[in-house]
Structure 1
Amino acid sequence: MTRIGFHASHEQIDPRQLLTDVQHAERAGFQMAMCSDHLAPWSERQGHSGYAWSWLGAALATTGLTFGTVCAPGVRYHPAVVAQKVATLGQMFPGRFWVALGSGQAVNEHVTGQRWPAKDVRDRRREECVDIIRRLLAGEEVSADGLVTVDRARVWERADPTPLLIAPVVSPASATRAAAWADGMVTINQPVETLRELLQRYRDAGGRGRTSLQVHLSWAEDEEEAERIAVEQWRTNVFAEPVSWDTETPAGFDAMAAHVGAGSVHGAVRVSASTDQHVQWLGEYAELGFDDLYLHHVGQSQERFLDVFGERVLPQLATSGRG
């Protein structure tokens, strides 16, 4: 049965309010949560970028939910630092934390002043980091001299069980590659045929663990308001790779999105004032074979969304066997 979780967007909501929101999500019936880990938002209109790792400690301590975050080791975060953070949360909250290890986006990583490498180099660097982090979490002393340099690193805290290292993927090709190392896979909503192929490629390549989908959606009491929220908050997030990987500032995203209209946004966000329509869309994703769906209402106010979806959407998915 597919589980339904809440996505906490640090780019859009300040961390104090977001902590209140995730506590509210648990009361509303959401079964788990995940969050972003950004240094910068996608747009100046979003306007936030709290430090996810501090927030995760508070969120895990004040709810009973499991949590995950997407993190990019290799530039802004050295893999030894990532391993220490992962081990600490895993030791404090056994079995309740996972991390998805990505190859990074320039909007967060350019601040170190290092040259932004090509995607194939970033993928190889990510795989080096995964190996380093996994060995450190196992208690090994690690040295490395490749795309990432490590000198006799050791993480002294041990988590039992070891937190899962999940692969964030956006294409069938990346799903095939990630299957070699990942303990599970997470992606974002895309055309159904793309998602079906992505899942198939991951499993055919030997991919193990749970598969998760982060669903960007916009709901409001009327259709016009739902669309307004989606366009206002998420029009900078409609760009395909490599634009989304390589653009360095929120101002750059805003400039590119100045003329993006509602039609383009509907391709990236499920927009409807009808909760029945959202149930149908989410049911389709569950039927594709995703184990977990994380719902991301792209508005900056979450309270009404959480109440309404807790009352009208989650029960329908549970009754249908989809949630």
Structure 2
Amino acid sequence: MIGYHASHEQHAPSELLEAVQLAEQAGFEAAMCSDHLAPWTRQQGESGFAWSWLGAALATTSMSFGVVNAPGQRYHPVIIAQAIATLAEMFPNRFWAALGSGEALNEHVTGDPWPEKPVRQERLHESFDVIRRLLDGEQVSVRNDLTHVHNARVWSLPAEHVPLLGAAASEETAEWVAGWADGLITVASTPDATQRILERYRAGSGRGSARLQVHLSLGASREEAVREAEDQWAHSTVPEELLWELEGPEDYEALARLSDGAIEESVVVSDSAIDMAERIAELAAGFDHVYLHHVGPDQKTFLRRCETELLPELRRIL
């Protein structure tokens, strides 16, 4: 399945709603979105509230939707369970959520300390357990090391099982989420690194669908595609060990590395839809779903090229 990624960091909610409607008309079968409080850089300049936007997006299209969420600090897991349940009840078999450990960029606003990765992962697993039990109709009280819930119940439940995927950006995390998640979602980097994440998930007895998000920049010229990628997705060149630790857009801007083709380590850049389709297909080998994110600001032109060039070629070779 080929889906469209809606980036709340880059577009106003009204503009993004129009984009997903156009994406469906262009031939996309599904969509997903981010869940940020802040953009990665000031140049992106937006960050709408994903959960209210998702209701509008689901109501005005017929596609399935997913969201990548970090429960445990900015969001209490009981609130996320209720949000998931409400959307899944209104739009049966059309909604999924992926759970990850999050970034300080979005979570530091609570004033709570930003934990080290092992603690974040423990908190994520505790949150997953609470959310899963609530979606299964249980009444939940827990007092774990990092998660406290008192006598909670979600009253409006969907009829079907809602997939809760695990978000992983490394092989180690992919193997870890294989032990508890209903599926995997990761972000493409190089073909070899991307495939190793998928292999580690499957080797860890990971079940369910494997989904891949691909950042790309399809321009009228290669120069334009590079320029837009560097302008809008510069944060992806920050050293990986710092991506989850920085607190403000200015921090990402200060550490961005926009020389020697660094942006192309995280963004597929091209002016040719045929070339881009081949590179996406290489990245997506073995995955069940691929979600395309055009990092450039002009989504309408991108979606027109998807309809006439990129999607037909990608379907031909996938």
Q: TM-score range by the shorter chain?
A: over 0.9
Could you list the structure 1 runs, at least 4 aligned residues long, displaced by more than 6 angstroms after superposition: none
Aligned match of 2:313: 316
2:239 & 2:212 partners in 1: Cα distance?
17
| Per-residue CA distance 1:161-186 (angstroms, 9 max, x = gap) | 12110111011111110001111101
Aligned match of 1:116: 114
Deviation at 1:318, TM superposition (A): 2.0
1:240 & 1:128 partners in 2: Cα distance?
28
Do the aligned partners of 1:87 and 1:162 also contact (CA within 8 Å) in 2? no
Do the aligned partners of 1:238 and 1:264 also contact (CA within 8 Å) in 2? yes
Do the aligned partners of 2:140 and 2:149 also contact (CA within 8 Å) in 1? yes
| Per-residue CA distance 1:106-157 (angstroms, 9 max, x = gap) | 0000000001110000000000000000000011111111211111111101
Aligned match of 1:198: 197
- Counterpart of 2:23 in structure 1: which amino acid? A
Which blocks of at least 5 consecutive residues in structure 1 are unaligned? none
Aligned match of 2:143: 145
| Per-residue CA distance 1:228-256 (angstroms, 9 max, x = gap) | 10011111122243211000001111121
2:298 to 298, 301, 306: 301
2:239 & 2:94 partners in 1: Cα distance?
32
1:245 & 1:51 partners in 2: Cα distance?
20
Q: Secondary structure at the match of 1:289?
A: coil
Do the aligned partners of 2:190 and 2:283 also contact (CA within 8 Å) in 1? no
Aligned match of 1:63: 61
- State yes or no: 1:106 paired with 2:100: no
Do the aligned partners of 2:29 and 2:63 also contact (CA within 8 Å) in 1? yes
2:125 & 2:37 partners in 1: Cα distance?
22
Alignment of 1:1-323 (within 5 A): 3-146=1-144, 147-257=146-256, 260-261=258-259, 263-286=261-284, 288-320=285-317, 322=318
- Counterpart of 1:30 in structure 2: which amino acid? F
Shift in CA distance, 55/280, structure 1 to aligned 2, threshold 3 Å: same
- Counterpart of 1:128 in structure 2: which amino acid? E
| Per-residue CA distance 1:60-110 (angstroms, 9 max, x = gap) | 000000000000000010000000000000000001000001101000000
Deviation at 1:41, TM superposition (A): 0.2
2:69 & 2:244 partners in 1: Cα distance?
14
Do the aligned partners of 1:235 and 1:261 also contact (CA within 8 Å) in 2? no
Higher mean C-alpha deviation, range 194-203 or range 23-32: 194-203
1:230 & 1:317 partners in 2: Cα distance?
21
- Identity fraction in percent: 50
Do the aligned partners of 2:238 and 2:255 also contact (CA within 8 Å) in 1? no
1:189 & 1:318 partners in 2: Cα distance?
19
Deviation at 1:261, TM superposition (A): 2.5
Q: Secondary structure at the match of 2:113?
A: coil
1:314 & 1:173 partners in 2: Cα distance?
32
2:224 & 2:11 partners in 1: Cα distance?
19
1:159 & 1:240 partners in 2: Cα distance?
41
Deviation at 1:262, TM superposition (A): 5.8
Q: Secondary structure at the match of 2:122?
A: helix
Aligned length: 317
Do the aligned partners of 2:277 and 2:314 also contact (CA within 8 Å) in 1? yes
Greater relative CO, 1 or 2 (CA 8 Å, sep 6+): 1
Q: Secondary structure at the match of 2:66?
A: strand
Q: Secondary structure at the match of 1:245?
A: coil
- Counterpart of 1:46 in structure 2: which amino acid? Q
Do the aligned partners of 1:34 and 1:67 also contact (CA within 8 Å) in 2? yes
1:183 & 1:136 partners in 2: Cα distance?
16
2:260 & 2:42 partners in 1: Cα distance?
19
2:115 & 2:280 partners in 1: Cα distance?
36
1:35 & 1:187 partners in 2: Cα distance?
13
